[in-house]
Amino acid sequence: MSSVVDTPVIATARRAREAAAELAPLPRAVRDRALLAIADALEARADEIVTANAADVERARAAGTAAGIIDRLTLTPQRVAAIASDVREVVALPDPVGEVVRGSTLPNGLELRQVRVPLGVVGIIYEARPNVTVDAAALCLKSGNAVLLRGSSSAYSSNTAIVRVLRDAVVSAGVPADAVQLVPGESRESVRELMTARGLVDVLIPRGGASLIRTVVNESTVPVIETGVGNCHVYVDESADLETAVRILVNSKAQRPSVCNAAETVLVHAAVAERFLPLALGALAEAGVTVHGDAAWCKAGEQAGVAVTEATDEDWAAEYLSLDIAAAVVDDLDAAVAHIRQWTSGHTEAVVARDTGAVRRFVARMDSAAVMVNASTRFTDGGQFGFGAEIGISTQKLHARGPMGLPELTSTTYVVTGDGHTRE
């Protein structure tokens, strides 16, 4: 119990902690009612939100912000309606809270139940995407958690308006307003305070680019779930059906290159390189992809009349998020494994192979959140996996790995029931 006066951020976290204690025992019906109230309020007060957003957009334009970022920042009545519709989908998802994960009756008659419970206070640190404000709040509420939202300062006006709407809505449903709070302040210092509020904040989830995530991981004393950085690989085995391999490669790279589950490197078994490289170069060029290749790929590019840039270690490490791909020929499957283990960010790797032994060997030697066998890397996604919604894709090994749905926003507690049991 410190006698020092709380900073605004710490005071906010303390209120979140109190709200979390009230929120945790509330049944699903109350939490769902709050979510429906949020969806209704977003639609009813879309004008208020769009007006506040316009101020952020104007500031961003004046500051010469890139068009893509401005697009992600911009809200329209239609976009607000789409966000409200997403909230209604969260309502329909199964309640993770109270799920009995395992249970048994012990030899002495004690009844053991491991039950899912909310984490408590979840902090989300994210970039200039006001839709994340609503998505994150909805998923946290659904899983019984209080949420502290720390968006980009460039969306502060939008987020302030949205959070005002969210708080009014949850209160109308009997949920404490402080279950949803914006972290006050637009300075870096407010992020630092959030990252060191250990004991008040149960987990921080950074959503955004690699540098944001690195900062939070390095500086936070609050436990962090790392999300999203994807240096994903496609390995084409000697046993691959080469046309299938081309389709999977092009889909993995080019179907949506700006996202974390897009492929960034292709590795090809030497035994099929001569046949595969020309096919791949043609298909990648047609999809507008620039290849950063090793000597074999450069040579194949020359022969095919396709420009191939010479790859360096930076290319093996790169998460391009663009129509670029690093490409190498490897001696065998084990060399592909070694390359991937050296350079991967641990997100998703794909193997294209017909030989079951090769598939088993590859899968057993990966150390990533997801391994795709004869499928595109683009499938690593909470929606695709049938989780309904995701708060991010974890690339760490503790607690959650891969697409994080509602269960990953919970902890568990053991409830042990006896009738006066004591230990001998």
Asked if 415 interacts with a second copy (CB under 8 A), we say yes
Instruction: Single out the segment in contact with a second copy by CB under 8 A; choices: 58-66, 77-85, 269-277, 390-398.
Output: 390-398
Closest CB to a second copy among residues 143, 152: 143
Single out the residue of 265, 367, 250, 259 nearest to residue 313, CA to CA: 265
Closest CB to a second copy among residues 259, 304: 259
Instruction: Single out the segment in contact with a second copy by CB under 8 A; choices: 109-117, 158-166, 266-274, 302-310.
Output: 109-117
Closest CB to a second copy among residues 48, 238: 238
Nearest distance in Å: CB 364, a second copy: 4
Contact 180/149 with Cβ under 8 angstroms?
yes
Asked if 422 interacts with a second copy (CB under 8 A), we say yes
Using the rule CB under 8 A, which residue among 14, 45, 79, 247 binds a second copy?
Answer: 247
Rounded to an integer, what distance in angstroms lies between the CA atom of residue 235 and that of residue 331? 12
**Token pair of 53, please?**
């957003």
Nearest distance in Å: CB 250, a second copy: 8
Closest CB to a second copy among residues 154, 239: 239
Q: At what angle do helices 210-219 and 188-195 cross, to 10 degrees?
A: 50
Nearest distance in Å: CB 396, a second copy: 7
Asked if 71 interacts with a second copy (CB under 8 A), we say no
Asked if 65 interacts with a second copy (CB under 8 A), we say no
User: Taking CB under 8 A as the criterion, which residues in 217-236 touch a second copy?
Assistant: 217-218, 221, 223, 225
Rounded to an integer, what distance in angstroms lies between the CA atom of residue 384 and that of residue 388? 8
Residue 365, classified by CB atoms within 10 Å of its CB into exposed (0-12), middle (13-18) or buried (19+), is middle
Nearest distance in Å: CB 117, a second copy: 8
Rounded to an integer, what distance in angstroms lies between the CA atom of residue 341 and that of residue 325? 18
DSSP 180-216: EEEPS-SSHHHHHHHHT-BTTB-EEEEES-HHHHHHH
**Token pair of 125, please?**
């640190």
For residue 15, give Cα distances in angstroms to 127, 146, 174, 176, 201: 24, 9, 16, 10, 11
Rounded to an integer, what distance in angstroms lies between the CA atom of residue 374 and that of residue 371? 10
User: Taking CB under 8 A as the criterion, which residues in 294-313 touch a second copy?
Assistant: 313
Contact 142/35 with Cβ under 8 angstroms?
yes
Nearest distance in Å: CB 184, a second copy: 25
* Cα diameter, the chain: 82
Instruction: Single out the segment in contact with a second copy by CB under 8 A; choices: 108-116, 178-186, 228-236, 327-335.
Output: 108-116
Q: Using CB under 8 A, count the residues that bind a second copy.
A: 70
Which secondary-structure segment (H or E) carries 150? Answer: strand 146-150
Closest CB to a second copy among residues 134, 280: 280
**Token pair of 293, please?**
């290749």
Single out the residue of 220, 216, 282, 291 nearest to residue 253, CA to CA: 291
Rounded to an integer, what distance in angstroms lies between the CA atom of residue 196 and that of residue 212? 16
DSSP classification of residue 352: E
Instruction: Single out the segment in contact with a second copy by CB under 8 A; choices: 127-135, 166-174, 214-222, 301-309.
Output: 214-222
Asked if 214 interacts with a second copy (CB under 8 A), we say no
User: Taking CB under 8 A as the criterion, which residues in 166-205 touch a second copy?
Assistant: 198, 202-203
Contact mark string toward a second copy, 349..388, x via CB under 8 A: ------------x-xxxxxxxxxxxxxx-xxx---xxx--
**DSSP-based three-state secondary structure for 87:** helix
Using the rule CB under 8 A, which residue among 8, 11, 25, 357 binds a second copy?
Answer: 25
Strand 111-118 and strand 100-105: the pairing is antiparallel
Rounded to an integer, what distance in angstroms lies between the CA atom of residue 326 and that of residue 285? 14
Closest CB to a second copy among residues 159, 380: 380
Nearest distance in Å: CB 374, a second copy: 5
User: Taking CB under 8 A as the criterion, which residues in 110-149 touch a second copy?
Assistant: 110, 112, 114, 117, 119-120
**Which residue ranges make up the site for a second copy (CB under 8 A)?**
1, 21, 24-25, 104, 106-107, 110, 112, 114, 117, 119-120, 198, 202-203, 217-218, 221, 223, 225, 241, 244, 247-248, 251, 255, 313, 341, 361, 363-376, 378-380, 384-386, 396-399, 401-403, 411-423
